[in-house]
Structure 1
Amino acid sequence: MATPHWLAWQLPPCEAPDPGVPTAARGWWALGFTPCVAILEEALVLEVSGTLRLWGGLPALRTRLHHAAPGAPDVRCWAEGATAQQALALLRLQLRDRRRPACVPHDLPLDTLSALRPHAQALAHLGCRTWGALRSLPRAGVARRFGQDCLTAMDQAWGTQEQAWDWLQLPEAFDLQLELPAPVDSAPALLQYGQHLLDALQAWLRARQQGVLVLELAWQHALRRVDGQRLPDWQSLVLRTAEPLRDMAHLRRLLSERLARQVLAAPAGRLALRSRQTAPLHAGTRGLLPPAAGVDDCPPGEPWHQLLERLAARLGAASLHTPELHADHRPERMQRWHMPALAQPHRPLSAAARRMPPSSGAPVQAGGSASDDGACGNKRAALWPGWLVRPPQALRLQGDRPLLHDQPLVLLAGPERIEAGWWEPHGGEHGQGLARRDYFVAHNALAGWVWIFRDRASGAWFLHGVYA
């Protein structure tokens, strides 16, 4: 059995307990490192001997705890000991700017153990000022003079007697309420008072290694009636995220966007925060834009899902569409758009879609869509343009040569033959059916470089893409 090893961390000072927010919530974050977490007076104590190997040893765990603990890094105080009481005693000495004794626990001062503080002066008259000095006295005399509780506390602190701990437990779902100090009649002001709830939510998510997908912020009306109309007890808004989220700064921005457009039916007297749906948190996401090359202090790009959430909060979820790759050789059918973007489930791509080589693109006409992919397994897809014209634009002919801007086009590369859509009825679904096309890269002085094709069934020519 591993030798017990305890860490003690000073809980941040709290001016007044928040009704509805349990004291235990201040220690939820530590449950992500060890299941043995308890609150001992003014400190959070962790028994870490069983999880040291998981974190790569004590030095690595110290570093992780130092960065994960709430509060400013320069004021976080940690102490270690063979028992929780020894770690707490060393933490108290550290906060008093006193040195660590040469021999622990023998040289620890009596006043660092709470059970001995009421008797510290009487014991000092007997010449006992340290734990070791008290332990050397006859136990029967100490019990008669100072009570059995002093001996029990000393044995537990010394590690010779087991102590029953009330370990912190995480609730299965996050649902906390906060009593507001005064009625709030502005929706944006609710977020100022809800910071304690957001902090507790972040600790809960960290301990469960999860991110939130659906969150509900609710407020209770302080009035029962307004202008003779009876009000419901609670009013709420539901926030949905594109991916599991644990970044409270981003979550606060999303709530702020939503609350800025919210009108309270009456002043609010109570605030509640509930997690409606969570999911395991994946390790990191790529930025929307990479940092500039050679610039060390360049901030990383905003993750895609965070941009979606912020735009949905500002513009409405129905305003956003999201693309999905589709296994089809026809360039205009290689992606489909779904709405709303946040409600679109994350589905793995088909084997055919994964083989499509990516290319950049954007719409060039209203209703047009850029091709994000080349043909399945086609090495010539590197010659495809980044901008598609939808629908393809019919070209006039001069003899057998296509014209664009009344000038003949010179065919420079091609043909590249594409035949697809045979499984669709002619003119079905999207007005398409079997597509039999020969694609060419063409050029003239006015149009520049363009991508055209000849329909093999009709012999007509069409403009389908332009090169930036």
Structure 2
Amino acid sequence: MRLWIAIHLPLLPLEVFCPRWSEDSCTVVLEQERVAAMSALAAGAGVQLDMRRGGALMLAPQSQFHQRAPQLEVEAMQAVAMALLQFTPQLAQAEEATLLLDIGASLRLFGGIRALCRQVAASMRALGFTAVLSCAPSARGAWLLARSNAGRALTMEALVRRMDRLPCSLLPPARPYLSWLEGIGCMTLGEMRRLPRPGLQRRCGRALLDMLDDAHGERPELHQWLEAPASFRAKLELFDRVENAEALLFGAHRLLLQLTGWLSARQLAVERIHLLMEHERGKVARPPTLIEIVLAEPTWRDAHLVRLLKERLAKQVLDAPVIGLCLEAPQVQPMAPPSDSLFPEPGGSKEDWQRLLELLTARLGPENVLQAAPRADYRPEQANAWVSVQEKIRPADARAQLPPDMPSLPRPAWLLAKPIALLMRDHRPYYGSPLRIMSTGERIEAGWWGQMQTRDYFIAEGADRAHYWLYRERNANAADLSPRWYLQGLFG
């Protein structure tokens, strides 16, 4: 099934200066000294489209006036397109601030057209833009519905009925001939389509008929698909100086949406991201503040990255106001295929565990979330070290560090930080009660390169049936002394 989503940004000239979430701003955008767009507050003050600057200034003197910036609009459209690549790789830019998405192959993945439209609309709100969405079986038909806010049409019959009621002025090739069309009583696309084709072509040109045929699915449409760049780097200029790090989450989320689209288009997963918070430039310039997030498990989802950034920004203290953000993805790898488990355990996958560790690391700091790192040492207290979970320990290295002749005797799960010296009663070690030896000895001689230690380890049982891990020191130079016993571990 071929189905298209068209996204029209009617307030793009305004929202490149005034984001959607800044509803309390009074902003007017001028083009050739006439009003091209205005915010809701400016419109409430009486400012209207095509009004001269002087009239707008008289009605709303508190407004911020900006000249229309085509380059900023192009950059904003590219940012929106990059974020929408997460829904389909077939995305093209059309006329008049409109994007076209071929989502026929994405419907099943995102749960149908309604769920997909909700996700697209949520992404547009997170990006800070006002968007008009429409669906149609043809790209030009979806473009016409979006330009007129005429809703959705999932079949060609429904699309034709909706398009027949649309005004002729929606078609760009028809605009130079609107007075002539009105003179002959042709006001809608349905009436235009019923006109004789040869006469309409001689009067208005072939482009008008081609656009009508495209909208009705009678001519193959050719599009130039957007290609994601080889590397990712996105910037965002803030609309004011921000002194609170938590207030930067809106802009960071916008950049993360672009990263998600780029990762989906390139079939990559990110392992490390850098968020650069840029400060004042010029004479008082200072280097940007860096927030680095290292992921234990590569991901391409924005929700998890947003949670990690939120935790890091909540702890960040800004030394100077921030005027811009820059997001980079210096370390990526090919996207891993989904799990092939028939009945995966909810919340028990490796990815869920890694996300939990990453969230704890972002909240508590990498120095407070540790993992075990084996060492090549026979002494139990030296055989393991605790390092940050962000450090990579390859399984091959961990296996290579274990001695090949390591005994298979059981080891306790709880190893004491410092061995406890035990009393001797009736020639038996005592810990709450006399301990009875339950196993043969395991001799460990190690530390010849430093502090030599010679021990015999045993499993002992107390009167309460609890099992302990003891060792007895061996001293060859003092064989006549009574042996000293130590408790080093407890069995569960």
TM-score class normalised by the smaller sequence: 0.5 to 0.7
Pair 1:341-2:399 in alignment: no
Name the structure 2 match of 1:238: 291
Instruction: Give the one of 470, 474, 477 matched to 1:453.
Output: 470
Amino acid at match of 1:6: L
Pair 1:141-2:199 in alignment: yes
Aligned-pair distance for 1:272? Answer: 2.3
> Following the alignment from structure 1 to structure 2, what is the Cα–Cα distance between the partners of residues 141 and 105?
22
Instruction: Give the one of 275, 285, 297 matched to 1:217.
Output: 275
> Following the alignment from structure 2 to structure 1, what is the Cα–Cα distance between the partners of residues 363 and 188?
63
RMSD of aligned Cα (Å): 4.8
> Following the alignment from structure 2 to structure 1, what is the Cα–Cα distance between the partners of residues 181 and 155?
22
Contact 2:86 2:260 survives alignment (8 Å): no
> Following the alignment from structure 1 to structure 2, what is the Cα–Cα distance between the partners of residues 156 and 376?
75
Name the structure 1 match of 2:425: 398
Q: Could you tell me the TM-score, scaled by structure 2's length?
A: 0.65
Higher helix share: 2
Name the structure 1 match of 2:140: 85
Question: Counterpart of 2:331 in 1: which secondary structure?
Answer: strand
Amino acid at match of 2:392: P
> Following the alignment from structure 2 to structure 1, what is the Cα–Cα distance between the partners of residues 152 and 89?
31
Q: Deviations over 1:120-176 (max 9, x none)?
A: 785476565665654453333213333333123223334455544332221222222
Contact 1:175 1:273 survives alignment (8 Å): yes
Name the structure 2 match of 1:115: 172
Q: Deviations over 1:345-380 (max 9, x none)?
A: 25235695999xxxxxxxxxxxxxxxxxxx9895x7
Aligned-pair distance for 1:37? Answer: 0.8
Name the structure 2 match of 1:367: none
Instruction: Give the one of 362, 372, 375 matched to 1:323.
Output: 372
Question: Counterpart of 1:170 in 2: which secondary structure?
Answer: coil
Structure 1 residue runs of 5 or longer lacking an equivalent are 293-299, 356-374
Amino acid at match of 1:347: R
Name the structure 2 match of 1:37: 91
Question: Counterpart of 2:200 in 1: which secondary structure?
Answer: helix
Amino acid at match of 1:71: A
Aligned-pair distance for 1:33? Answer: 4.7
Structure 2 residue runs of 5 or longer lacking an equivalent are 18-71, 126-130, 340-344, 476-482
> Following the alignment from structure 1 to structure 2, what is the Cα–Cα distance between the partners of residues 78 and 433?
77
Identical counterparts, % of pairs: 25
Aligned-pair distance for 1:442? Answer: 1.4
> Following the alignment from structure 2 to structure 1, what is the Cα–Cα distance between the partners of residues 444 and 171?
81
> Following the alignment from structure 1 to structure 2, what is the Cα–Cα distance between the partners of residues 8 and 271?
30
Name the structure 2 match of 1:366: none
Output aligned runs, 1:159-198, within 5 Å: 159-198=217-256
Output aligned runs, 1:39-78, within 5 Å: 39-40=93-94, 41=96, 43-48=98-103, 52=105, 62=113, 65-66=116-117, 68-71=119-122, 77-78=133-134
Question: Counterpart of 2:15 in 1: which secondary structure?
Answer: coil
Question: Counterpart of 2:199 in 1: which secondary structure?
Answer: helix
Question: Counterpart of 1:262 in 2: which secondary structure?
Answer: coil
- Bigger drift between 270-279 and 326-335 goes to 326-335
Instruction: Give the one of 451, 459, 469 matched to 1:440.
Output: 459
Amino acid at match of 2:470: F
> Following the alignment from structure 1 to structure 2, what is the Cα–Cα distance between the partners of residues 214 and 58?
27
Contact 1:32 1:207 survives alignment (8 Å): yes
Aligned-pair distance for 1:256? Answer: 0.9
> Following the alignment from structure 1 to structure 2, what is the Cα–Cα distance between the partners of residues 308 and 37?
36
Contact 2:416 2:488 survives alignment (8 Å): yes
Name the structure 2 match of 1:199: 257
> Following the alignment from structure 1 to structure 2, what is the Cα–Cα distance between the partners of residues 386 and 67?
50
Q: Deviations over 1:406-445 (max 9, x none)?
A: x42245xx31654567xxxx424674667653x3241146
Name the structure 1 match of 2:307: 250
Q: Could you tell me the TM-score, scaled by structure 1's length?
A: 0.68
Name the structure 2 match of 1:275: 329
> Following the alignment from structure 2 to structure 1, what is the Cα–Cα distance between the partners of residues 434 and 171?
95
> Following the alignment from structure 1 to structure 2, what is the Cα–Cα distance between the partners of residues 239 and 328?
34
Amino acid at match of 1:31: L
